[in-house]
């Protein structure tokens, strides 16, 4: 039901009546965000819709974000959110099928064979090729079901209508679908999205699961930086699910079944857990009307309970080396509070002072002056909602070692923690924030991403603008203090990759 | 501003995308009807027309954009590494980086960095085989200072010795790391195999980075050949009007001399003709496959060119609607991505290529599927629906070609530099709509032959080599680099 204040953005009594009838609740941007006229609509099932009408080319960007991601996955089911991201492109009860009944009959058989495969796995190594036989049977049944499938029809309808950049991504805390459409055909997005949310069919499940395994091989198993990232997080987070890979472990992916994925979808991918941002050449009244018409009747669903696990305080440095037939890489992470903590803006500013641009401290020293690194980059992550890491990724230049990079990095951090940044450094970042506030408005899709993320994760789209404003109020002492408090030796986890543990 | 109006959208048969004669699901007839009706709504828009004038003999293309207080200026110069010989490869490749990092004759590198970051500029330099580009984005209120700095960097580079040495160190490191990325390795080895000693086939080697080849004098020499007025085209978008921007551009252009002599264009390649199967042995959990052979379709306003573009989309360039991705990924679950590419240079031969990544035990199977899919299109035309679907994708997405003023101006600059007509995009839009299934068959039949493919696989030889032998004798490529 209505959750936001009704205010006066509506331009006519007719449109007011229309939207009231649609059970929409509307709000307005405050003066601080006058440049972004965000219209807010909350449907009775809880779906929050943000609409921004902008001049320019007749195109519209859509971002649908669900507040469910890697951290919400049950133990033993890593990767389920990411697999779901893939499966929602497989069509619905209407789209993608020529004979839904025939498909569903085969699904039951396929699922039964998969259960048998998993039972054999529990007994240890299978003998006599039984597992292979069962897998072949499962794949054969899926091929039979495929004869009733119209392959990739959902994607094809949209791209044929002019959609660009149709894609999705899964993070630790969200699953995000996005596309851009010619404005004239924007209604098509609502019609298909409503059907997709209400009536998805998880067809071709096991072949798509194999696709996801290939994605893991590409991003992690054959990618030094991806492998290092995964191992580093697993070392830094022993309790919190930030230590689990969003793409899933291979073992968990192999055990994932269609019924398990479908049940997870039915529970957490409802409108009450979703935000839709629409930005472009579109009338917000149309957005409100189509949202209600196509998305308003979908059952609300549950919201994930959130993560109650708190990562225990780290009391000593942790180190890990990943032996890999590759040139060395370095990754360091220090535990920090969640981004919503009062120290969040100062920590973000700290990252900018250390590696934001060529005049930043670490770039100047490691890349320019000493020439011992090709790149050095500080960030916070892997998510935003929970206590995470202040991360530094650096790549040494031969013959420099990761140990040399570490020593220089720690020296610069100690200097910053002792003396703090200069006013000139703070001013440089304020200038960049001011310019960034204008540049962020250049892209409809970029703005839609920002609005959806802030509303989905923090409950208010204005958060994306507040963060920029908060930067302007951080002083040098605040940056010095967070460097001193969080970037300590006992609080860090260091991961290296290469042929030798010596770092070269 | 002059505009041209475009309308597209008659008769898009959204329901025809299943198998011919396939029954349409009856579960939600309203949805299907709605999808069809909305999908057929005409896309009606006015195409913005770019303004053009000259400053000091340099063409300027402009499109006002008053929406935000920003100014963006693009510079396009003839002069990538492909226009120089191998002894200048490193300097020509490194020129963009050293223009950005190397300071000017009156500003140290640090002073340039501080000015860029103090003004919060976005400033980039880049290059391709035949061109160097640079783009400046600034708050409009800083336009004077920003253009003065940018002009100084382009016209009076300092090529600071410390920065050259740091860049050289990064390049040597990049040479070492080439083997760490199996996809980069596969593509560079394929280019080297097909193009040999031609700029497309060149891969940076330590010998290219010998100090004498990246000296200040060598950078000065390359810079003088590229950064002269006759090579330059400028593009402008933003909130300033012509009377405000023209004096700034005039000052910038006057800093550059006229060119002493024209740069030669890159030589025509002699693309490898012999087929083969090549393996780069890396102990990986996933193989990277690249296959390619030469073709003779040229970029031109000609039916054959449009047929090749539509045909490539049907084959593998059209995403999920294309045959290769549909089979390799959707049906078989072999790979996360699979695609095809058909390059069509205007002046010389190009290639048709396909690529994917899959687990070792499916490597040969995936190659089979890709070769078989190509073979089909040399024997039978694509269905009328496949061709129409591809045309619909091209044409319905046409409006996105005008999504931002910067995109429109940058494209027009490219056309001008390439000698393409100003209305090339509109010709393309019209040309693809004329393609019929038999046109695709004709161009595939004449140009594509899976048995001529050079197939390069980066993967675990012990696990894949035996099965690869069915495509021909397997040859190992030994890789230098790494340690």
Strand locations in B421-482, DSSP E? 454-459, 474-476
Average pLDDT, chain A: 90
The band of B3, judged by pLDDT with boundaries at 50, 70 and 90, is: low
Instruction: Check pLDDT > 80 for residue A32.
Output: no
pLDDT tens digits along A371-403: 999 999 999 999 999 999 999 999 999 999 999
- For tokens 């899709």, the residue is A445
A-proximal residues of B, 238-297, CB under 8 Å? 282-286
CA-based nearest residue to B444, from B373, B384, B351, B378: B378
> Which pLDDT score, from 0 to 100, does residue B67 have?
86
Instruction: Check pLDDT > 80 for residue B19.
Output: no
Nearest neighbour of B166 by CB, restricted to A199, A206, A368? A368
> Which pLDDT score, from 0 to 100, does residue B7 have?
61
pTM over 0.90: yes
Task: Calculate the CA A383 to chain-centre distance.
Answer: 8
A11-15, A48-52, A316-320, B68-72, range with the lowest pLDDT: A11-15
Three-state secondary-structure class, residue A61: strand
Task: Considering only residues B71 and B20, tell me which one the structure prediction assigns the higher pLDDT.
Answer: B71
Q: What are phi and psi of B40, to 5 degrees?
A: -100, 0
State the complex-level ipTM.
0.92
Average pLDDT, chain B: 92
Instruction: Check pLDDT > 60 for residue B72.
Output: yes
- For tokens 């009062």, the residue is A342
- For tokens 């004498």, the residue is B212
Instruction: Check pLDDT > 80 for residue B29.
Output: no
Chain A residues lying within 8 Å of B14, measured CB to CB: 157, 160-161
Residue B170's CB is within 10 A of a number of other CB atoms, namely 19
Average pLDDT, integer, range B445-466: 98
* Element containing residue B77 per DSSP (H, E): strand B70-78
Q: What is the dihedral of CA A154, A156, A160, A163, to 10 degrees?
A: 60
Put simply, the answer to whether A434 touches B120 (Cβ < 8 Å) is yes
Average pLDDT, integer, range B52-68: 94
In this structure, are residues B392 and B12 in contact, taking their beta carbons and an 8 Å threshold?
yes
Q: Are strands A274-280 and A164-170 parallel, antiparallel or unpaired?
A: unpaired
Instruction: Check pLDDT > 80 for residue B194.
Output: yes
Going from the C-alpha of A180 to that of each of A348, A418, A461, B182, B406, the distances in angstroms are: 31, 49, 20, 32, 18
Q: What are phi and psi of A167, to 5 degrees?
A: -165, -175
Put simply, the answer to whether B22 touches A98 (Cβ < 8 Å) is yes
Nearest neighbour of B117 by CB, restricted to A185, A432, A442? A432
Task: Calculate the CA A468 to chain-centre distance.
Answer: 21
Q: Percent of chain B, pLDDT > 70?
A: 93
Task: Calculate the CA A73 to chain-centre distance.
Answer: 14
Nearest neighbour of A204 by CB, restricted to B283, B330, B396? B330
Put simply, the answer to whether A327 touches B42 (Cβ < 8 Å) is no
* Interior angle at CA A27, CA A449 and CA A188, nearest 5: 50
> Which pLDDT score, from 0 to 100, does residue A432 have?
85
pLDDT tens digits along B156-183: 999 999 999 999 999 999 999 999 999 9
Nearby residues of A446 by Cβ (< 8 Å), 6 or more positions away = A440
Q: CA-to-CA distance for B288 and A420, rounded, in angstroms?
A: 48
Instruction: Check pLDDT > 60 for residue A10.
Output: no
> Which pLDDT score, from 0 to 100, does residue A127 have?
55
The band of B255, judged by pLDDT with boundaries at 50, 70 and 90, is: very high
| Gap from A310 CA to chain B (nearest CA, Å) | 35
Three-state secondary-structure class, residue A360: coil
> Which pLDDT score, from 0 to 100, does residue B21 have?
32
Which candidate in B164, B403, B459 is best for mutational testing of the A interface (most A CBs within 10 A)?
Answer: B403
pLDDT tens digits along B354-387: 999 999 999 999 999 999 999 999 999 999 999 9
């Amino acid at each position: 039901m209505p959750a936001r204040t009704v205010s006066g953005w509506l331009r006519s009594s007719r449109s007011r009546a229309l939207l009231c009838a649609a059970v929409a609740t509307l709000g307005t941007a405050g003066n601080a965000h006058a440049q972004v006229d965000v219209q807010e609509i909350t449907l009775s099932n809880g779906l929050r819709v943000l609409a921004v009408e902008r001049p320019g080319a007749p195109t519209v960007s859509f971002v649908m974000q669900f507040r469910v991601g890697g951290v919400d996955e049950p133990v033993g089911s890593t990767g389920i959110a990411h697999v779901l991201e893939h499966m929602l492109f497989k069509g619905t009860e209407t789209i993608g099928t020529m004979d839904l009944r025939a498909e569903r009959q085969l699904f039951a058989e396929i699922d039964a064979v998969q259960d048998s495969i998993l039972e054999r796995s529990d007994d240890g190594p299978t003998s006599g090729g039984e597992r292979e036989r069962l897998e072949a049977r499962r794949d054969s049944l899926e091929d039979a079901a495929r004869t009733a499938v119209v392959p990739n029809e959902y994607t094809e309808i949209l791209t044929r209508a002019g959609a660009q950049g149709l894609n999705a991504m899964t993070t630790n805390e969200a699953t995000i679908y996005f596309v851009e459409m010619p404005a004239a055909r924007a209604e098509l997005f609502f019609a298909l999205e409503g059907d997709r949310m209400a009536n998805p069919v998880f067809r071709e499940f096991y072949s798509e699961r194999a696709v996801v395994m290939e994605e893991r091989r590409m991003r992690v198993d054959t990618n030094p930086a991806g492998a290092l990232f995964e191992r580093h997080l697993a070392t830094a987070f022993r309790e919190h699910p930030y230590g689990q890979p969003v793409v899933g472990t291979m073992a968990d992916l192999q055990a994932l079944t269609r019924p398990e994925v479908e049940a997870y979808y039915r529970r957490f991918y409802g409108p009450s857990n979703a935000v839709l941002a629409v930005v472009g050449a579109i009338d917000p009244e149309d957005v409100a009307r189509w949202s209600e018409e196509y998305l308003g009747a979908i059952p609300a669903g549950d919201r994930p309970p959130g993560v109650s696990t708190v990562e225990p305080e780290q009391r000593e440095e942790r180190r890990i080396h990943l032996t890999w037939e590759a040139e060395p890489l370095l990754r360091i992470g220090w535990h920090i509070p969640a981004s919503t903590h009062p120290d969040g803006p100062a920590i973000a500013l700290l990252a900018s002072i250390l590696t934001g641009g060529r005049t930043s401290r670490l770039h100047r020293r490691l890349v320019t002056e000493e020439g011992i690194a090709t790149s050095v980059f500080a960030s916070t992550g892997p998510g935003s909602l929970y206590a995470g890491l202040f991360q530094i990724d650096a790549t040494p230049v031969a013959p420099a070692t990761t140990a040399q990079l570490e020593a220089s990095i720690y020296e610069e951090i100690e200097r910053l923690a002792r003396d703090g940044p200069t006013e000139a450094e703070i001013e440089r970042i304020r200038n960049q924030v001011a310019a960034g506030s204008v540049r962020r408005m250049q892209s409809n899709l970029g703005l839609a991403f920002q609005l959806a993320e802030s509303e989905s994760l923090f409950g208010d789209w204005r958060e994306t603008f507040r963060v920029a404003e908060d930067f302007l109020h951080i002083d040098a002492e605040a940056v010095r203090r967070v460097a001193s408090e969080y970037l300590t030796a006992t609080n860090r986890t260091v991961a290296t990759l290469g042929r030798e543990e010596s770092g070269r | 501003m002059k505009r041209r109006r475009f309308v597209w959208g008659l008769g898009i048969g959204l329901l025809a995308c299943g198998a011919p004669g396939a029954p349409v699901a009856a579960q939600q007839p309203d949805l299907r009807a709605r999808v069809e009706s909305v999908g057929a709504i005409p896309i009606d828009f006015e195409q913005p027309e770019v303004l053009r004038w000259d400053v000091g003999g340099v063409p300027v293309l402009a499109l006002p954009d008053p929406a935000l207080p920003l100014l963006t200026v693009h510079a396009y110069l003839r002069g990538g590494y492909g226009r120089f010989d191998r002894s200048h490869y490193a300097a020509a490749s490194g020129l963009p980086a050293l223009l950005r990092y190397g300071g000017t004759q009156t500003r140290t590198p640090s002073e340039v960095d501080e000015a860029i970051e103090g003004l919060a500029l976005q400033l980039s330099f880049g290059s391709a085989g035949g061109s160097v580009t640079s783009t400046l984005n600034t708050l409009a209120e800083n336009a004077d200072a920003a253009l003065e700095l940018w002009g100084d960097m382009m016209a009076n580079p300092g090529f600071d010795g410390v920065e050259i040495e740091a860049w050289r160190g990064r390049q040597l490191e990049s040479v070492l790391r080439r083997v760490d990325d199996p996809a980069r390795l596969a593509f560079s080895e394929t280019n080297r195999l097909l193009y040999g000693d031609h700029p497309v086939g060149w891969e940076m080697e330590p010998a290219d980075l010998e100090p004498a080849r990246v000296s200040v004098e060598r950078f000065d020499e390359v810079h003088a050949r590229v950064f002269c007025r006759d090579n330059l085209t400028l593009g402008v978008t933003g909130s300033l009007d012509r009377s405000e921007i023209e004096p700034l551009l005039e000052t910038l252009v006057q800093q550059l001399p006229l060119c002493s002599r024209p740069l030669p264009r890159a030589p025509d390649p002699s693309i490898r003709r012999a087929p083969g199967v090549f393996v780069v042995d890396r102990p990986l959990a996933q193989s990277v496959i690249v296959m390619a052979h030469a073709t003779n379709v040229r970029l031109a306003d000609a039916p054959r060119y449009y047929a090749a573009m539509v045909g490539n989309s049907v084959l593998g360039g059209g995403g999920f609607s294309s045959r290769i991705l549909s089979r390799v990924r959707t049906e078989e679950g072999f790979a996360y991505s699979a695609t095809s590419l058909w390059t069509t240079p205007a002046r010389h031969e190009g290639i048709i290529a396909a690529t994917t990544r899959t687990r070792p035990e499916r490597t040969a199977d995936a190659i089979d599927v890709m070769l078989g899919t190509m073979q089909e299109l040399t024997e039978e035309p694509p269905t009328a629906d496949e061709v129409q679907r591809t045309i619909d994708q091209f044409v319905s997405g046409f409006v996105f070609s005008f999504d931002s003023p910067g995109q429109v101006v940058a494209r027009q600059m490219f056309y001008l530099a390439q000698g393409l007509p100003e209305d090339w995009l509109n010709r393309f839009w019209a040309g693809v709509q004329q393609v019929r299934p038999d046109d695709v068959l004709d161009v595939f039949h004449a140009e594509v032959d899976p048995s001529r493919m050079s197939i390069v696989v980066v993967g675990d030889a012990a696990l894949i080599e035996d099965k690869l032998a069915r495509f021909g004798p397997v040859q190992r490529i030994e890789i230098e680099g790494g340690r």
